């Protein structure tokens, strides 16, 4: 799986949009960008994933650059409950019956300030 | 919606003892994954099973073994426990089908080895 680079930590004011960047310059054509988050000691929570088109769901939006070398996760209206470590993970979207484990990097510790 | 169930949620063992952790995947999910998260660390992939067969293997110690049963639940068996095995252990499951193998995590089992 391609390596990802994320800032160690970020602050965001409550109610504002939180924009979390991720660099994945060695991403392959069949690799997706996945985002998970982990609120203190809870199980990682799936947020969103995408291949090359921008994606949006009830939790967040994912913006992937045209060259696919970087992406941004957007939480449109951050709340205190969004304080967590956010992981950007690049991997094959479907391993054809396999079950490849996720490789968690260091992630970004997002702190939402009241 | 149903989630991944892990039991027990907390477990305390002595050094050199054995422990068994259980994971019940989301209904209609046929793939399970095990992760270990030490204090202050990011989750590390241990092992996965697809349709009751071992699929991918990560940094799982030889003292650990796992299996998936006919009802798709999985058990992680840990023998000769060491102090360094104290960690959160997460199970994740992913659905059958050719479109995605997005992993959904359980709440974890906190293992303390004394």
Q: CA-nearest residue of chain A to B41?
A: A106
Beta strands in chain B (DSSP E): 5-7, 10-13, 19-24, 29-37, 44-50, 53-57, 64-68, 74-78, 87-95, 104-105, 109-113
| Contact criterion met (CB below 8 Å) for A97 and B101 | no
The segments of chain A whose pLDDT lies below 50 read none
Residues in chain A with CB shorter than 8 Å from the CB of B50 are 97-99
pLDDT of B93 over the 80 cut:
yes
**Read out DSSP for A32-87?**
EEEEEEE-TTSPPEEEEEESSS-EE-SS-EEEE-TTSSEEEEEESS--GGG-EEEE
- pLDDT value at residue A94: 62
pLDDT of B97 over the 70 cut:
no
**CB–CB contact A94 B43 (8 Å):** no
Planar angle of CA B63, B110, A36, nearest 5 degrees: 100
Determine the 3-state secondary structure of B36 from DSSP: strand
Interface residue of A34, A96, A98, A99 to substitute, partner B, most B CBs within 10 Å? A99
- pLDDT value at residue B2: 87
- Least Cα separation, residue B111 to chain A (angstroms): 13
pLDDT of B99 over the 70 cut:
no
- Percentage of chain B beyond pLDDT 90 is 79
- pLDDT value at residue A46: 95
Residues in chain B with CB shorter than 8 Å from the CB of A45 are 105
- pLDDT value at residue B56: 87
- Percentage of chain B beyond pLDDT 70 is 96
| Contact criterion met (CB below 8 Å) for A100 and A31 | no
- pLDDT value at residue B5: 98
**CB–CB contact A103 B102 (8 Å):** no
- pLDDT value at residue A29: 87
Task: Give per-residue pLDDT as tens, A95-113.
Answer: 555 678 899 999 999 999 9
Determine the 3-state secondary structure of A108 from DSSP: strand
Q: Which of A93, A96, A99 sits opposite B33 (nearest CB)?
A: A99
CB of A3 within 8 Å of a chain B CB? The answer is no
- pLDDT value at residue A2: 64
Phi-psi region of B33 (alpha: psi -120 to 50; beta: other; left: phi over 0): beta
Interface residue of B42, B50, B91, B112 to substitute, partner A, most A CBs within 10 Å? B42
Mean per-residue pLDDT over chain B, rounded: 93
Q: How deeply is A78 buried, as exposed, middle or buried, from its count of CB atoms within 10 A (0-12, 13-18, 19+)?
A: buried
**CB–CB contact B105 A101 (8 Å):** no
**A3-7, B73-77, B99-103: least confident range:** B99-103
- pLDDT value at residue A50: 92
Task: Give per-residue pLDDT as tens, B2-48.
Answer: 899 999 999 999 999 999 999 999 998 989 999 999 999 999 999 99
Q: Chain A to chain B, count of Cβ pairs less than 8 Å apart?
A: 74
Phi, psi of B85 (to 5 degrees): -80, -10
């Amino acid at each position: 799986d391609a390596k990802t680079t994320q800032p160690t930590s970020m602050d965001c004011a409550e109610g504002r949009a939180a924009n979390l960047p991720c660099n994945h310059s060695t991403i392959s054509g069949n690799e997706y960008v996945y985002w998970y988050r982990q609120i203190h000691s809870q199980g990682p929570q799936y947020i969103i994933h995408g291949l090359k088109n921008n994606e949006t769901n009830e939790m967040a939006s994912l913006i992937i650059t045209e060259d696919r070398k970087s992406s941004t996760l957007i939480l449109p209206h951050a709340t205190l409950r969004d304080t967590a470590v956010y992981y950007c993970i690049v991997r094959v979207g479907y391993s054809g019956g396999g079950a490849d484990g996720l490789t968690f990097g260091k992630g970004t510790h997002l702190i939402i300030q009241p | 919606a149903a989630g991944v169930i892990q039991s027990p949620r907390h477990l305390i063992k002595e050094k050199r003892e054995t422990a068994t952790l259980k994971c019940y995947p989301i209904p209609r999910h046929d793939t399970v994954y095990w992760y270990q998260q030490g204090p202050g660390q990011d989750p590390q992939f241990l092992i996965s099973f697809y349709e009751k067969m071992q699929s991918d293997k990560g940094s799982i110690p030889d003292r650990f073994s796992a299996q998936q049963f006919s009802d798709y639940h999985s058990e992680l068996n840990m023998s000769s426990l060491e102090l360094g095995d104290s960690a959160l252990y997460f199970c994740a499951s992913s659905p059958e089908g050719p479109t995605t193998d997005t992993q959904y995590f359980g709440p974890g089992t906190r293992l303390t080895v004394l």
